[in-house]
């Protein structure tokens, strides 16, 4: 297994800009979730994709959007960046385990992308 990778590792943007963060899941993992982890906080669920469709969403505005591709890669896009968007963004992939509820599946996390909005 190659693990979950994310790019870039660090990014600096200015308020109002748009950003795209990328994640490469483990082969065979059809579920990917994105989390925002502000400094000193636990990860907050943004949304989840399963087989290229959004499968659920947390309390984040529509300017947070995502895409999942057939090659196990995915993107998190954030428009109109705000200062409070500064955080570590984590993606996590999960395997298909056939009939197991998604909240039981083990998630494999990438190292994250640290975004700073000035």
Partner 1 sequence: AQSVTQPDIHITVSEGASLELRCNYSYGATPYLFWYVQSPGQGLQLLLKYFSGDTLVQGIKGFEAEFKRSQSSFNLRKPSVHWSDAAEYFCAVGAGGFKTIFGAGTRLFVKA
58, 67, 95, 96: which one binds partner 1 (CB under 8 A): 58
- Is there a contact between 4 and 91 (Cβ–Cβ < 8 Å)? yes
2, 42, 84, 98: which one binds partner 1 (CB under 8 A): 42
All residues at 6 or more sequence positions from 54 whose CB lies less than 8 Å from its CB, including other chains: 47, 48, 66
Interatomic CA distance for residues 103 and 76, integer angstroms? 21
39, 53, 98, 104: which one binds partner 1 (CB under 8 A): 104
Nearest CA among 92, 109, 88, 93 for reference residue 9: 88
> Taking the complex as a whole, how short is the minimal distance between the CB of residue 31 and partner 1, in angstroms?
8
Contact between 60 and partner 1 by CB under 8 A: the answer reads: no
Angle, CA 84 vertex, CA 108 and CA 42 arms, to 5°:
35
4, 76, 87, 117: which one binds partner 1 (CB under 8 A): 4
What residues make contact with partner 1 under the rule CB under 8 A? 4, 33, 35, 40-45, 48, 50, 55-56, 58, 90, 92, 101-104, 106-112
């Amino acid at each position: 297994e190659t693990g979950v990778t994310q790019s870039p590792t660090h990014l600096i943007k200015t308020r109002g800009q748009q950003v795209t963060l990328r994640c490469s899941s483990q082969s065979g993992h059809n579920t990917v979730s994105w989390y925002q982890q502000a400094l000193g906080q636990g990860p907050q669920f943004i949304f989840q994709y399963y087989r290229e469709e959004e499968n659920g969403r947390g309390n984040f505005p529509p300017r947070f959007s995502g895409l999942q591709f057939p090659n196990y890669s995915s993107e998190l896009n954030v428009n109109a960046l705000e200062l409070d968007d500064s955080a570590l963004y984590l993606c996590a992939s999960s395997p298909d385990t056939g009939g197991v509820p998604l909240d039981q599946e083990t998630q494999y996390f990438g190292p994250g992308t640290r975004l700073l909005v000035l």
